[in-house]
């Protein structure tokens, strides 16, 4: 049966019908009052979502472009930075730093393990000369399903006093409580195809007053990603370059939906679906790749023993038209990942787990009582 695709990957995530219909409209001119009014609304709602009074800027880039902008606007060549690296995305931010000639030091943990905040504390406390200009942390490491302890790491950054905290919040924003102002986060980057419930194409960067101070003296080259341009335009409810008009109209719709649902409820839904998914995987006697106390709200990685993870994925797709994500790099074929981010309902979780049970049986994995995964999920979803 065609046209029943269910995306259970950590981006692109499913898009609600109201947003799909907004995408189908004729584009409107981006220098019109009509569009400016939409931008004004979107800007206000982005601040609400980020729990900030400061700027949240919008660029036509993927999540990587948003993080890159968040790095290069506030630093100068040779600046010393600390980058947390415990997965694909942490590795990427170290590479971006190197590409721009920054003095990059990584703080690593095994893939599947969380970063150790004490290692950040050690480096930051030892830096009495205040040479460390920024600390970059991937909050939810999508490649492994690990949620890093950003709150504690950030506390150590605050004690240092000089360094900026730059956060890849691509799969935590809109899934997990991330109070940007209350925590004093300086730069927070995200992308439209994750918690925002619209297709790929927009990146977002929240910028604190302290980061704008650093911007004034930052010397890394930039043009299209120069956030000063975006701030200036945003003050006039416009954009420096042609924005993806239809995506922004769709975003207007989904931010409205999110506001209606409320932050508490959104975070509660992600927590509940994470717990249901993890309970189900345990019910199927399959090993979870990340421990309970550092589990991402957006993505659950599973390491099936004695079965190729990609066989599970391809049968899930073929039999049930459910798309799961695979492992990256050395985890290729070793893990599969279930996304539960954005426009995902409890029903989707149940469908996914029930389908997974059938697929496991078809592949000859019999180390569970049929129905055990669904039963475990049902118990959690029952509240
Ligand atoms: C998806 C994702 C990104 C951005 O990836 P793009 O392909 O550039 O959109 C960055 N960080 C994390 C943790 C992600 O999950």
Q: How far apart are CA 182 and CA 41, in angstroms?
A: 23
Mutate to test the pocket of ligand 1, among 191, 244, 297 (most ligand atoms within 8 A of CB): 191
Mutate to test the pocket of ligand 1, among 9, 64, 143 (most ligand atoms within 8 A of CB): 64
Q: Whose CA is nearest to atom 4 of ligand 1?
A: 63
Q: What is the pLDDT of residues 330-378, one digit of tens each?
A: 999 999 999 999 999 999 999 999 999 999 999 999 999 999 999 999 9
Residue 25 has, within 13 A of its CA and on its CB side, a CA count of 16
Cα(63) to centroid(ligand 1), Å: 5
The answer to the question of whether 313 is labelled as a binding residue is: no
Number of H helices, E strands in the chain: 14, 13
Average pLDDT score over the chain: 97
Does residue 150 have a pLDDT over 70?
yes
Q: Are 134 and 163 in contact (CB under 8 A)?
A: yes
pTM: 0.98
Classify domain 17-260 at the CATH class level.
Answer: alpha beta
Q: How far apart are CA 196 and CA 170, in angstroms?
A: 10
Cα(38) to centroid(ligand 1), Å: 26
CATH 3.90.1150.10 domain residues, the chain = 6-12+262-381
The hierarchical CATH code for the domain 6-12+262-381 is 3.90.1150.10
Over range 245-252, report the average pLDDT. 98
Report the percent of the chain where pLDDT is more than 70.
100
Cα(367) to centroid(ligand 1), Å: 35
Cα(132) to centroid(ligand 1), Å: 25
DSSP assigned state of 27:
P
Q: How far apart are CA 236 and CA 227, in angstroms?
A: 15
Q: Whose CA is nearest to atom 14 of ligand 1?
A: 170
Q: How confident is the model at residue 1 (pLDDT cuts 50, 70, 90)?
A: low
Over range 180-192, report the average pLDDT. 98
């Amino acid at each position: 049966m065609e046209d029943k695709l269910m995306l259970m990957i950590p981006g692109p995530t499913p898009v609600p019908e109201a947003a799909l219909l907004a995408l189908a409209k004729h584009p409107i001119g981006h220098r019109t009052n009509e569009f400016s009014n939409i931008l004004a609304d979107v800007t206000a709602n982005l601040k609400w979502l980020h729990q900030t009074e400061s700027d949240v800027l919008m660029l036509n880039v993927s999540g990587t472009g948003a993080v890159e902008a968040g790095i290069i606007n506030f630093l100068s060549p040779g600046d010393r930075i600390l980058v947390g690296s415990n997965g694909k995305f942490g590795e990427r931010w170290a590479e971006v730093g190197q590409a721009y000639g920054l003095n990059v030091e990584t703080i690593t943990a095994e893939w599947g393990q969380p970063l150790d905040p004490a290692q950040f504390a050690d480096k930051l406390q030892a830096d009495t000369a205040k040479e460390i200009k920024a600390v970059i942390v991937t909050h939810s490491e999508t490649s492994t399903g690990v949620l890093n302890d950003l709150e504690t790491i950030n506390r150590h950054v605050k004690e240092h006093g000089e360094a900026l905290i730059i956060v890849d919040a691509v799969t935590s924003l809109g899934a997990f409580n991330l109070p940007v102002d209350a925590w004093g986060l300086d730069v927070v980057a995200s992308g439209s195809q994750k918690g925002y419930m619209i297709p790929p194409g927009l990146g977002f960067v929240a910028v604190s007053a302290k980061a704008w101070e650093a911007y004034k003296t930052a010397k890394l080259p930039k043009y299209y990603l120069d956030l000063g341009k975006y701030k200036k335009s945003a003050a006039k409810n416009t954009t420096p370059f042609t924005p993806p008009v239809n995506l922004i109209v769709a975003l207007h719709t989904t931010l409205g939906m999110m506001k209606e649902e409320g932050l508490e409820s959104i975070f509660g839904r992600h927590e509940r679906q994470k717990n249901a998914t993890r309970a189900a995987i345990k019910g199927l006697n399959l090993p979870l790749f990340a421990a309970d106390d550092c589990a991402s709200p957006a993505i659950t990685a599973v390491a099936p023993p004695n079965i190729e993870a990609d066989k599970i994925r391809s049968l899930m797709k073929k039999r049930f038209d459910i798309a799961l994500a695979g492992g990256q790099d050395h985890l290729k074929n070793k893990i599969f990942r279930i996304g539960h981010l954005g426009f995902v309902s409890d029903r989707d979780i149940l469908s996914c787990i029930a389908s997974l049970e059938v697929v496991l049986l078809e592949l000859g994995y019999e180390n569970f009582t049929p129905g055990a995964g669904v039963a475990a999920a049902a118990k959690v979803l029952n509240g």
